[in-house]
Amino acid sequence: MDELPVTAEAAVAASKLILLAPIEPASGGNGLAMRTELFRRAAAAGLGVDVVVVPVAGRLPAPTTRPPGPVFLLPDPVEARKGARALLADVVWRDRLTRASVLPRVARTASPGLASAVVAALDIEGPVALHVMRSYLAPLGAAVAEQLETTWATLDLDEDDAAFAAARGAVHEAAAYERLLDVFGGLFDGLCAASPVEAGAISRRHGLCVDHVPNAVDLPVSVAPRLPEDHRNVSLLFVGNLTYAPNVEAVSTLVETVLPAVRRRLRRPVRVTLVGSHDRRTDGLAGPAVDVRGYVPDLGPVYAAADVVVVPLEAGAGTRIKLLEAFAYGVPVVASSVAASGLAVSDGRHLLLADGAAETAAAVDRIVGDPALASRLAEEARRLVRDSYSTAAVTPAIRDLFARAAARAGLRCGRAGSR
């Protein structure tokens, strides 16, 4: 198994962490941005953190950068080709890239040939560590780690990209992700994923140790009281990135099949609110009973106005921050089994699980017609977030990941000596 070079002189402890991400960290607006912010905050408690963003996962809809802001590095094909030629001149890298063959599409955009540009954008003094967000940045991260001679390097896979691509019928992309992890996964001192099921599956397929680091949200300081139900519509809510294909499919299902089924069952007015950055694919869903709201910076009033958060996902990977966020705001949730996968939730205790329009409508009916059930679900779900999925609960797991990575790097250094 290949290893990132660690010099004998380099201290295992680092004075700074470089966080390499495909989107800028933010406390809301995008699940990946929120997970990136989770890692940034956990690292910042003990290290200086420099964020480098190669924006291959999109840009956030509103300025959310915190000072000091991240370094944005737009992929430059000319720079990437120049760097790639330099890597191919190295026999080790030539072997890696040959074994990886064709990289996944996003990994080709964020080419390892950009490593020199990343390093040049940083002002580095003293020992540094590296944390990389998402598997498709692993080749670039490995090249950056070697050029910086990092004391340790970790990789957050977030989700099982190969399994997700295979489930969507993208067999060539799935195979490319498998090759990528076979070649580059072992170069990192620690790896993690958001779902314990996916962490285990990746570990077994690739012979890697992949830790479980859950997604997390901040608990609101206070939750707005529910709006009175009398004299208003039943309000169903979906919050998420509506440029992400599985979310687009989910809201289409919600509007076109679930909403009519709920109306038939409740025999009263029902409204759907869709919140999140969106594109033309959702434009046709707007109507008298459907509000396509777009990006909303303050979600408190949106959740306060909702009777039920409905998440009828039929595809996805990792774990859904949208469920954790609804739990945190105290809104009862009806979700598909796919949407709840990877979270330690129990049907009837934290949420109601429902697959298909008829089951979903029946679950919404139960919640709307039974205020005690709605209150109990909301209270148990909020308690679950507090204990297992809040930023405060998950931060120690991230620090443990970093500490174990540093220890592994130290053992390598002691065994192998200077490289």
Phi-psi region of 81 (alpha: psi -120 to 50; beta: other; left: phi over 0): alpha
Right CATH for 234-389 from 3.40.30.10, 3.10.129.10, 3.40.50.2000, 3.90.230.10: 3.40.50.2000
For residues 361 and 419, the model is more confident at: 361
Residues in the chain, overall count: 419
* Rounded Cα–Cα distance for residues 61 and 277 (Å): 7
CB 17 within 8 A of CB 128: yes
**DSSP-derived 3-state class of residue 409:** helix
- Which token pair is 330? 């105290």
**DSSP-derived 3-state class of residue 45:** coil
* Rounded Cα–Cα distance for residues 312 and 63 (Å): 30
Q: How far is CA 99 from the centre of its chain?
A: 28
* Rounded Cα–Cα distance for residues 298 and 28 (Å): 9
Residue 247 has pLDDT above 50, yes or no: yes
Model confidence pTM above 0.85:
yes
- Which token pair is 417? 């000596």
**DSSP-derived 3-state class of residue 26:** coil
pLDDT digits (tens, 9 = 90+) for 6-47: 333 333 467 899 999 999 998 887 889 999 999 999 999 888
Confidence of residue 232 (pLDDT cuts 50, 70, 90): low
16-216+391-416 classified as CATH 3.40.50.2000? yes
Q: How far is CA 112 from the centre of its chain?
A: 22
Cα-Cα-Cα-Cα dihedral of 160, 175, 244, 105, to 10°? 120
Confidence of residue 413 (pLDDT cuts 50, 70, 90): low
CB 277 within 8 A of CB 61: yes
Residue 404 has pLDDT above 80, yes or no: yes
Q: Where in the chain is the domain with CATH 3.40.50.2000?
A: 16-216+391-416, 234-389
Measured between alpha carbons, how far is residue 293 from residues 276, 278, 283 in Å? 7, 9, 11
Percent of the chain exceeding pLDDT 70 equals: 89
Q: Which residue has the tokens 């000072």?
A: 67
pLDDT digits (tens, 9 = 90+) for 45-65: 888 899 999 999 877 766 555
Phi-psi region of 69 (alpha: psi -120 to 50; beta: other; left: phi over 0): beta
